[in-house]
Every structure is written in structure tokens, then in C-alpha cells.
Amino acid sequence: MQSPCESHHSFFYGVPYLFYWNTTSRNPIIKVQDSYNIIRFWAHNGLLILGLLIAALNFLVQFCAPAAYGKHAPLKVTCPVEVRLSNIFAHFIPGLLIFTVMYFLSGNNLLGITNIILYSLFTVHYLFRGLLAPLMFRYSHSRLSARIPLTTFLLNTIYHCTNADFIGSVFYCKGYFYDPRFIIGALLFVIGLIINWSADIQLILLRTSRHDKDYILPRGVLFSLISCPNYFGECVEWLGWTIATWSLAGLIWWLYVVSVLGTRAIHNHNWYKDQFSSYPQRRKAIIPFIY
Ligand SMILES: NC(=O)c1ccc[n+]([C@@H]2O[C@H](COP(=O)([O-])OP(=O)(O)OC[C@H]3O[C@@H](n4cnc5c(N)ncnc54)[C@H](OP(=O)(O)O)[C@@H]3O)[C@@H](O)[C@H]2O)c1
């Protein structure tokens, strides 16, 4: 019998798994494993459909009004919770703990080298985003409404479970390691990560201490082109993830991230223009030279 990996270079190499359920030898990215049953199929795909609907709804809601924290915080916070703990709860637990448990519990191919690399990329992002960044940020408001971390926690859990389930059980043939999708996707992820981290660190350094609450006009590197390079970097990262994993789970997560950060970038950009009369006219919101 022909091995599924023998047809690496066929046209069908990497066509999203959904279209090749119970795949044949033509598709070397193989989702089906022995324990992959119909309940799990619908749990996975049901969450993907839900995730897509949430991304669309979230775009509309956040486009009309930004989430009420930071620059857009209300004067009076209802049901306040501590900002650093809230961020760790909303990002570290789903991004690192739940993602890892799901990867190890549901994965049938979690020791594949490509799977391990993808797992590492995801968790490295969340080590910074979920733990180091909340501890290092010099927040202007020490409290935010409990509604924000609770909703974020729930939504992150939905998206991260589908991604962990996918990369824990998908079978990437050896050749996929050299595939343009893997190389380009992983490169984009790393470039996006560097942009995201360095922009976040630039923002931290704008304030002199944790007691400093002033807003300063950021300048230099990507800030000379866009108002929110940290958001731009994160969108590039997850686009890279989508390409490298070649998955619907990655695509739907990326759409959600764009719906959150793309809309908030517009509100932040308008906020900067209102607050700073000298705000550079040529600076865009999130995509250099374009938007
Ligand atoms: N994956 C997702 O769905 C998602 C969603 C949201 C955020 N994120 C990521 O999480 C990170 C933080 O997001 P965020 O929305 O909190 O970012 P942000 O608004 O850019 O703020 C980041 C930090 O920098 C401070 N800051 C921002 N602008 C400043 C200025 N002009 N002067 C002085 N300090 C300033 C903020 O203080 P304040 O306390 O005053 O705001 C905050 O402590 C980013 O890397 C973003 O990509 C991801």
C-alpha cells in the first residue's frame, strides 16, 4: 500500500483536512487517527463554526465601541478586578495551561517534530503575553471590569482548544518540514513575535515607573509608520500560524484576532489624534502605508 507521505508533491498536499476526512494517500496532512470519532469531529467543527460566528459578531461590537480598558477605560468601573491578575487569568491559563492539557490529552501525534515545533511557537507567545507582559506593563488603571477577563478567558479557551486539538493530532509528513507553507508560516510567526514584543517593550519604556500614568506620543521604528505596531505584529504572527499549521482552526483564530486588534487599532489611532495635536499625519492605524 502506498504511504500517505509518498505523494508530498502532489497538488493535494496540504489541502485543509476538512475536505479529506478519512483521507486517502493523496493528502499528506492527515487528521484522522484511530481514536478520531464522530463526536470529536463535531465537537471540533462545532467549536470552529461557533468561533467564526463570534469573530464576526465581535468585529461589529468592537467596531462600534472599544473594550473598556486602558485608553478607553470608563470613569467608573463596575465589578472591578486587579488588572495584572486578570490578564494572567485571561491569557496564561487558556494559552499555556489549557492549550497544553488539550494538546497532551487529545493529541494522537503529539510527538511529531513539526507538531512539537508548532506547540513551542504557540506556548512561547503565551509565556510572554500571558505572564511576562502583564507583570512588566505599567498600566494606567489598576482595575478593570471583571466582564473583560471573563469573556476573554472563555473565548480564548474555545479557540485554543481547537488549535491544540488540531496540532496535537494532525500527522505532518516529514517533507512538510521543508514545505514553503511551513517555512513561510514559521518565519512570519517569528517576525510577528519580534515586532509584537519589541513594540510592547517600547510602550513599557514610555513610562518611567509603575506610578507614572501619563500617555506619551510613541516614536521610532514601526511607531513612525503606525499607531499600533504591537497589534500589527500579533496579526502577522497568527497569519504565520495559520499558514504553518494549514488549518481551519488557525484561520478562524486569526480572523478573531484581526476582529479584536484591527478594530481597537482604529479606536487607538483616533484617540491619539484627539489627544496629541502634533500627531504625525502620515502615521496609519495598523498596516504601514495602507490603513
Ligand atoms: N490576541 C488577542 O486577542 C489580543 C487582544 C488584546 C491584546 N493583545 C495583545 O496584548 C498586548 C497588550 O494589548 P493592549 O491592548 O493592552 O495594548 P496597548 O493599549 O498598546 O497597551 C500596552 C501597555 O502600554 C501602555 N501604553 C499604551 N500606549 C501608551 C502611551 N502612548 N504612553 C504610555 N503608555 C502606553 C498601556 O497603558 P494603559 O494601561 O494606559 O493602557 C499598557 O500598559 C499587545 O501585544 C496585543 O497585541 C492580544
pLDDT per position as a tens digit, 7-21? 444 444 444 444 444
Q: Write out residues with Cβ below 6 Å of ligand 1.
A: 70-71, 129, 137-141, 196, 200, 203, 206-207, 215-216, 218, 230-231, 234, 257, 260-261
Report the pLDDT value the prediction gives residue 15, as an integer from 0 to 100: 42
pTM (two decimals): 0.91
Atom 35 of ligand 1, residue of closest alpha carbon: 203
Domain that holds residue 199: 33-275
**Lookup: cell for 153:** 478567558
- Contacts for 141 with CB less than 8 Å, ≥ 6 apart: 69, 70, 73, 77, 83
Which of 122, 151, 261 is the pocket-test mutation for ligand 1 (most atoms within 8 Å of CB)? 261
Distances (CA, A) of 229 to 72, 152, 206, 217, 284: 18, 21, 15, 13, 10
% of the chain beyond a pLDDT of 90: 74
Residue 217 lies in a domain: yes
Phi-psi sector, 5: left (phi>0), alpha (psi -120 to 50), beta: alpha
Alpha-carbon gap, residue 143 to 84, rounded angstroms:
9
Residue 237 lies in a domain: yes
The total number of structural domains in the chain stands at 1
* CA 31 to ligand 1 centroid distance, Å: 37
Residue 2 lies in a domain: no
Give me the long-range contacts of 174-182 (CB less than 8 A, separation at least 24).
174/5, 175/5, 175/8, 175/9, 175/28, 176/8, 176/14, 176/28, 176/29, 176/114, 177/113, 177/114, 179/8, 179/13, 179/14, 181/14, 181/243, 181/244, 181/246, 182/114, 182/244
Atom 26 of ligand 1, residue of closest alpha carbon: 203
pLDDT digits 0-9 by tens, 98-145 = 999 999 987 777 788 889 999 999 999 999 999 999 999 999 999 999
Residue 9 lies in a domain: no
pLDDT digits 0-9 by tens, 20-35 = 444 444 444 555 444 5
- The widest CA-to-CA distance across the chain, in whole angstroms, is 70
Atom 32 of ligand 1, residue of closest alpha carbon: 215
